[in-house]
Amino acid sequence: MQSWSSARDALAPLLEKYAQVEDGKDGALYPFWALVKDDLWTVDSVHDLALTSRGRRPTLESLNRVDPSGGLREDDYALLRSQPHVAAEAAAGLLLRYFYPLPAGLLEDFGLHDLLAGRWADALRPQLGEAFKDRDAIWRAYGGQKMAGIGCVADGILSAFSDGKGPYADGRLPDTGWIAYVGDGLSGDQRITDGNELMAEYQSAGRPLRYWHKPFQGQFSFETWAVIVQRRLRWGVGEDGKWRREFLWILAPIPSPERESWPDDVLEALEADTGTLHDDTANYRPGDLDPEERDTTETDEDAYKRLAQAAEAIPR
């Protein structure tokens, strides 16, 4: 347990440096109290504190006056002290989720350099190559959600799941080996909601995600870390058998969340990516792939000219 005043004075410069908080001593109130709500942090003398008008948190004046002590729950504290690898896993997950890309000097300022031995990403779990019978087994080991194709395990880091027997036509791009991952939504035109919204956020931030793959009659494995280098909209067939517009997220595999390890072609693709949606549904139609959907008012010659013009317009 540490007093509020000591926690406040330790947090203040970190908040000002890494969270752009104008007054770190005032700002320290929020993380100090938020962990209580999450049942991760205990504070004594709570009944002596005056709360704000909505009762969400104590007033800064009462915290400074009472100066209560706060700290991790005793069992959690004992776990982290006795098993440094658990502390390293927790710290690395928080760094990737909230402090990415990693600012220079952060590990030293947070007192984490020795714990993470200079390679913070190695402490993350699950590890590359870990395999599980099914999604339920992944959930039992690492928590989070266990159904959606796009979602997070318990550490809050995004995962994209691809099942070779599933309803989505995921695949690999020729030559590059990059992953063409179909977005969230089984039927009807897909929207930037739910899993697609999370993917868009990761694309915008250039943040690494976990890619899991289950080949036909195989097991789910954490196959690779990946970053989203492009988002396209194409025609596809939904679970209801009807044509619809679906997102295609282009994932580039990377060896680690540490940017220094990423191949040059991935860095170049990220640099070129403006976050623009490449809409392939305007120039191509379901009838170009499915004879039953052909527009009978368009001649074969006109269809050929339209497709040729569309192909010529693709940047090289």
pLDDT tens digits, residue range 149-182? 999 999 999 999 999 888 888 999 988 899 999 9
Q: What's the fold here for domain 131-282?
A: PUA domain-like (2.30.280)
Residues 4/63, Cβ–Cβ less than 8 Å: yes
Residue with the bigger pLDDT between 212 and 147: it is 212
Mean pLDDT taken over the chain: 90
Residues 6+ apart with CB under 8 A from 18: 99, 103, 106, 109
Mean pLDDT of 142-155: 92
Mean pLDDT for 134-157 is 94
Q: CB–CB of 58/34 below 8 Å?
A: no
Poorest-confidence range of 35-39, 70-74, 194-198? 35-39
Distance CA 10, CA 303 (A): 68
- Bridge partners, residue 70, by sequence: 2, 43
Stretch 17-26: mean pLDDT, rounded? Answer: 94
Tell the burial category of 241 from Cβ atoms under 10 Å away from its Cβ (0-12, 13-18, 19+). Answer: exposed
Q: What is the pLDDT of residue 312?
A: 61
Lowest-confidence range among 60-74, 270-284, 285-299?
285-299
> What share of the chain in percent tops pLDDT 70?
91
- Mean pLDDT in residue range 86-99: 94
- The pLDDT assigned to 134 comes to 94
What pLDDT is attached to residue 54? 84
Ramachandran angles phi, psi of 170, nearest 5°: -75, 160
pTM over 0.75: yes
List every span in the chain annotated with CATH 2.30.280.10. 131-282
pLDDT above 90 covers a percentage of the chain that reads 75
- Position 36 scores a pLDDT of 86
With cut-offs at 50, 70 and 90, classify the pLDDT of residue 283.
confident
- Which pairing describes strands 158-163 and 209-214: parallel, antiparallel, or unpaired? parallel
Q: Is the pLDDT of residue 296 over 70?
A: no
Task: Tell me which amino acid residue 101 is.
Answer: P
Q: What pLDDT sits at residue 119?
A: 83
Q: Which of 74-83, 161-170, 189-198 has the lowest mean pLDDT?
A: 161-170
Is it the case that residue 40 has pLDDT exceeding 90? no
CA angle (148 as vertex; 146, 152 as ends), nearest 5? 65
Q: Are strands 220-237 and 277-279 parallel, antiparallel or unpaired?
A: parallel
The amino acid occupying position 279 is D
Q: Which residue has the higher pLDDT, 202 or 46?
A: 202
